[in-house]
Chains A and B, each alone.
Chain A
Amino acid sequence: MNARLATFALLTAAGLSLMAMVPYLANAYWLALGISLLQYTVLATAWGLFSGPTRYVSLATTAFFGVGAYTVAVLGEALPWPVVLAVAAMLGAALAVLVGLSTLRLSGVYFVIFTFGLAELIRQLVVWFEVNKSHVLGRYVFVPVTQALIYWQLLALAAAVFALGWLIARSRLGFALRIIGEDETVATHCGINTTIAKVTLFVISATVMTLVGAVMAPRWTYIEPSIAFNAMISFQVLIMALLGGAHRLWGPVLGAVPLTLLFELLSANFPNTFTIILGCIFLVIVYLLPRGVVGLIERRRETSVPVQRRLPA
């Protein structure tokens, strides 16, 4: 087991350092694609971190992403970059605690609708503040962060989110969450404090999303609420995680990577019919792959085990 773990760690380190070389080897286009791949990988994995085990479908991704981006817009030029990131992470975490405590008692479709509304609520609050207090709407971000630096930060974030997910799955928290996902009533009866467990995970997931928003913001120079709080991000992350399969840590990646490449391929080759093709693909995913790519792989494995084991004894 320990030898296996060591090999795995070695392989991961090798893979990461290989990926860290990309900015030296690729031109701006491939680097941009790499940034996009990492961005959605981190977002979808962070989404799956919370929604996978608990089965709460959240559309709040863009709310946290936007908070991160806006923190950079407001503080980007005033504070050193690491401090800006730290402030963004704290704001995201604080918001997640607030939202988590007040809403994780909701379940099913009510939670979905609430999280969708949350992004809009925060966006309107930002607009209200900017209009009535600061009298500027639309802020300029001129920070000396290069594309390569954005890529490396996202890569570090990706490594961190996988490490976190791996640790959580092996902790008491992870075990508690799996029980909550199966049956929340049973979990309560087992003596699990479901609220604390859920809120903790929600905060971890939201903090990562906030950091992604903060890291990405310097790419756009100009930030206004409609850019930072773009609902499309929530939907794309959701569909990526569903395609991959959110009940495994490495599931969302299997959705994020092919879908990001597909978006790129479609917008490069079919700029005018992009939305139609995308809609059809979503339908196919929902109908043919209800448990995602991970589900498909697991089914393969199951069918390959000897038949007699599946026959009644």
Chain B
Amino acid sequence: MTTSTTRRALLLAAVLAAGAGFATAAAAQTSIKIGYVLSRTGPNTGGAAVTTLPNYEMWAKEVNDAGGIKLGEKRVPIEIVAYDDRSSAEEAVRGIERLINQDKVDFILPPWGTGLNLAVGPILAREGYPHLAATAVTDKAPELAKRWPNSFWLLGTSTGAAEALVDLLVKLRDEKKIGDTVAMVAIADGFGIDLSTAARPALTKAKFKLAYDKSYPIGTQDLAPIINDVKALNPDVFVAFSYPPDTLALTEQSRIAGFNPKIFYTGVGTAFPLFNQKFGKNTEGVMGIGGWSGDSAAIKDYLARHKAARNGAEPDRWASAVTYSSLQILQQAIERVGKVDRAAVIKELQTGSFDTVIGKVKFENNLPTRYWWVGQWQGGDFYGVAPAGNVGARAAIVPKPAWVAP
């Protein structure tokens, strides 16, 4: 009697254990858990809401509509866990730690912006998660890639951006399209200071005359004095390493003041759809940081899908497509490995080559080999014009056409 009860109990226990074991084994393969921490509130919200969030959501939906990510023979859907970092480095770090240790996610998508990507870099490296930073511009990128072999810096360095711009200017001067006076302004924040610090020696070395070189504090409302001063100097080239609000303000002020240099270049925000909505015909010939191969079929298709998925909203013409490509790269790397093996995925990322909306991407020392650094509005879209060697580079329209009445 006792023996039989014991035996029955043991049998039951065995069945239960088998059932549980089966359940966990099955659970490990029925979905891939992907987590991210994004700035849904605070000062970073604008950038994250235009460039990052739409691409994350669109990609997850597309993948799941297609049945999921292919692991070996079958497809498994993505399950998303998302948090808000409230634009704070500490919250971003905490969120990532929560994703790894509490939610036990399989992969992590990076936060928006240089500062937050750097803040979460050490944990992702320590825990061995692939880190495809698509919205960080830092001169330390090569060094960081060496320090954290799991990290990939898709947007390149500020020196790269400044030098590509100067190379373009040199070429245009050689073609006698512009003279050699340059006026440069920069916002007194990470981006503006990094770029102007890199551009200054490059311009001097190329024997350009730097007629004006000033910075303005973040949040400056009235930029008319700057534009008036610059206009009085009558430079051939106007370069502003600016943020979205001042990119709009400087452009608007130049139009009002009738300041129309042969090259008019502004910083972050020039590539935003908002810029086109605000200035319409007046965007023609305006240059800015970023750009994409607007003539390529893949980009046209991406634009159409983005508009369909986001209620007609367009992506920006710089980091958006790069962000989406980083997701395609991650997916392809996971599918080639065929299982949730993060070390193998990182290895594949380092060595493989990937088909994306921005073309073929292959990392060298964890950095892509091609970037779009200078774009120009031409006929209502923002095309990459430099480096000229890139596939799909358009010729720059110089001099910039005159401003028209809005």
Asked whether, in the complex, the Cβ of A268 is within 8 Å of the Cβ of B43, the reply is no
Q: Are A268 and B83 in contact (CB under 8 A)?
A: yes
Q: Decide: A220 near B140, CB < 8 A? Known: A28-B123, A124-B217.
A: no
A303 to B140, CA, bound (A): 63
Q: Using known A-B contacts A127-B217, A135-B193, determine if residue A221 contacts B94 with beta carbons closer than 8 Å.
A: no
Residues A227 and B89 in contact, CB atoms below 8 Å apart? yes
Stretch at the interface among A167-175, A240-248, A270-278: A270-278
Q: Which residues of B lie under 8 Å from residue A32 when comparing CB positions?
A: 93-94, 97-98
Q: Give the A interface residue count (CB, 8 A).
A: 36
How many residue-residue contacts, CB under 8 A, span A and B? 101
In chain B, positions 87-129 with a C-beta closer than 8 Å to chain A are 88-91, 93-95, 97-98, 100-102, 114-115, 118-119, 121-123, 127
Majority secondary structure of chain B interface residues (helix, strand, loop or mixed): helix
Q: What is the interface size of chain B, counting residues whose CB is below 8 A from a CB of the partner?
A: 39
B197 within 8 A of A: yes
- The docked-state distance in angstroms from the alpha carbon of A222 to that of B43 is 17
| Residues on A with beta carbons closer than 8 Å to the beta carbon of B193 | 130-131, 135-138
**Shortest beta-carbon distance, A222 to chain B, in Å?**
4
B84 within 8 A of A: yes
Q: Answer yes or no: A83 CB below 8 A from chain B CBs.
A: no
Given the complex, which residues of B lie within 8 Å of A27, measured CB to CB?
Answer: 101
Q: Does B190 contact A (CB under 8 A)?
A: yes
Q: Are B86 and A226 in contact (CB under 8 A)?
A: no
Provide the residues of chain B in CB contact with A135, threshold 8 Å.
Answer: 193, 197
Chain A: which residue is nearest B42 at the CB level? A232
Closest to A138 in B: B190
> Can you name the residue of chain B whose Cβ is closest to the Cβ of A26?
B101
**Known contacts A131-B193, A136-B193, A222-B115: A232-B88 contact under CB 8 Å:** yes
Q: Does A193 sit at the interface, judged by CB under 8 A?
A: no
Interface status of B62 (Cβ within 8 A of chain A): no
* Chain A residues within 8 Å of B147, by CB: 142
Whether A216 sits at the interface, judged by CB under 8 Å, is yes
A81 at interface by CB-CB < 8 Å: no
Q: Mark B193-223, 1 if CB is under 8 A from A, else 0.
A: 1100100000000000000000101100000
A230 within 8 A of B: yes
B residues within 8 A CB of A29? 97-98, 100-102
User: B295 near A: Cβ within 8 Å?
Assistant: no
Of A127, A268, A272, A275, the residue contacting B98 (CB under 8 A) is A268
CB proximity of A287 to chain B, nearest CB, Å: 24
Label chain A's interface by main secondary structure. Answer: helix
A214→B114 CA distance, assembly (Å): 21
**A36 on the B face (CB < 8 A):** yes
A272–B86 alpha-carbon span in the complex (Å):
10
Indicate whether B188 reaches chain A with its CB closer than 8 angstroms: yes
B90–A220 contact, CB under 8 A?
A: yes
Q: Choose among B98, B118, B197 the residue that contacts A221 (Cβ–Cβ < 8 A).
A: B118
**B352-385: which residues lie under 8 A (CB-CB) from chain A?**
none
Give bound CA distance, A219 to B40, whole Å. 22
Bound-state CA distance A138–B137 (Å) is 12
Which residues on the A side are within 8 Å of B390 (C-beta)? none
* Interface flag for B296 (CB, 8 Å): no
B189 CB-CB contact with A under 8 Å: yes
Q: Mark A22-33, 1 if CB is under 8 A from B, else 0.
A: 000001111011
> 28 A-B Cβ contacts within 8 A?
A27-B101, A28-B100, A28-B123, A29-B97, A32-B98, A33-B94, A36-B90, A127-B188, A127-B189, A131-B215, A136-B193, A136-B197, A137-B189, A137-B192, A216-B90, A219-B89, A219-B119, A220-B119, A221-B119, A222-B115, A226-B189, A227-B115, A232-B86, A267-B91, A267-B95, A271-B40, A272-B40, A274-B41
Contacts from A to B (Cβ < 8 Å): 27-30, 32-33, 36, 124, 127-128, 130-132, 135-138, 140, 142, 216, 219-222, 224, 226-227, 230, 232, 264, 267-268, 271-272, 274-275
Q: Told that A29-B98, A30-B101, A140-B118 touch, could you supply 10 new A-B pairs with CB distance under 8 A?
A: A32-B93, A136-B194, A137-B188, A137-B192, A138-B190, A138-B193, A140-B140, A221-B122, A222-B115, A268-B102
> When A and B form their complex, which 6 residue pairs have the shortest distance between CB atoms, in order from nearest?
A29-B101, A222-B118, A138-B190, A137-B193, A271-B84, A220-B89
